[in-house]
Amino acid sequence: MTKKRNYLEIINKLITTIKNLKLLQRYIRKHYAKQEQDWVEYYLQPIIDMMGSITSTFPIFNDIKVHLYKSVRNFEKNYPNGKHAIYTGSHWIGIKDGKMFDPFDHCQLYGTNQFCQTYVLMWLTGNLTMYKPQEEGQEISELDKYYFYTKQALDFIQEKILLKYNKKHRKLRMYKRCIKILQNYPMMCLNVIELPK
């Protein structure tokens, strides 16, 4: 078995706790750092960059106003109507008709850089299904909802973004290839994200 294949099998797993995810990440970074770095740079980072592009992705939704480097204080007063995607300098927040949505409160592990801009777009466009825990009595993993939202984000990107993307964009073919790989390894898209200390 090649080292690359071994890495993919180890990292693309459902992990139940943040503690176990940190242990897995330490192991991977000790034994498979090059494979992880290559996979993230080749497949995940292009999609994260694409989704954060205010010139290519956000114009698909012309009813959403984009605000860069803005504070979300007094949002009800400052943004009482319409749909707003706000970049605070390190994180995306959504405001719709005076109600704020922060992906850290629902979809994304606090302090990570994953798909916050995607979750905001999903929420603003009515494409975000809120996570509901498994049936009562079943054990629920502390990471279940984050895997759920990661998969939702990947599907949204393929179905709602790439189908409407500028057909002449020079990287469109690469984005389509990347999203297919990410959909084949959805757990990795969470498992490789750097966690806060």
User: What are 140-196's pLDDT values in tens digits?
Assistant: 788 999 999 999 999 999 999 999 888 888 999 999 999 999 999 999 999 999 988
Look at residue 197 and tell me if it is in a domain. no
pLDDT band at 15; cut points 50, 70, 90:
very high
CA 59 to chain centre: 19
Q: What was the pLDDT predicted at 138?
A: 55
Mean pLDDT, residues 35-59: 91
3-state DSSP assignment of residue 16 = coil
pLDDT for the residue numbered 197:
75
Calpha distance 41→79 (Å, rounded): 36
Distance CA 94, CA 86 (A): 6
Domains: count for the chain:
1
pLDDT (0 to 100) of residue 155: 97
How confident is the model at residue 136, as a pLDDT?
Answer: 60
Whether residue 6 is predicted with pLDDT greater than 90 in this model: the reply is no
How far CA 140 is from CA of 137, 151, 153, 190, in Å, comes to 9, 17, 21, 17
Q: pLDDT value at position 139? A: 57
pLDDT of residue 114: 87
Flag whether 196 is in a domain.
Answer: no
Backbone torsions φ then ψ of 113, nearest 5 degrees: -110, 100
In a domain, residue 27? The reply is yes
Give domain status of residue 16, yes or no: yes
Provide the token pair at 195: 């966690």
> What's the pLDDT at 2?
65
Q: To which H or E segment does residue 56 belong?
A: none
In this predicted structure, the answer to whether residue 5 has a pLDDT above a threshold of 80 is no
DSSP state of 5: H
What is the rounded distance in angstroms from the CA atom of residue 46 to the CA atom of residue 106?
24
pLDDT digits (tens, 9 = 90+) for 66-115: 888 777 777 767 777 899 999 888 899 999 988 999 999 999 999 898 89
Q: With respect to residue 52, please indicate whether it lies within any of the assigned structural domains.
A: yes
Q: Which pLDDT belongs to residue 73?
A: 74
Query: Which residues constitute the domain of residue 147?
Result: 3-191
Residue 87 lies in a domain: yes
Q: Report helix, strand or coil for 66.
A: strand
- 3-class SS at 18? helix
Q: Is 85 helix (H, G, I), strand (E, B) or coil?
A: strand
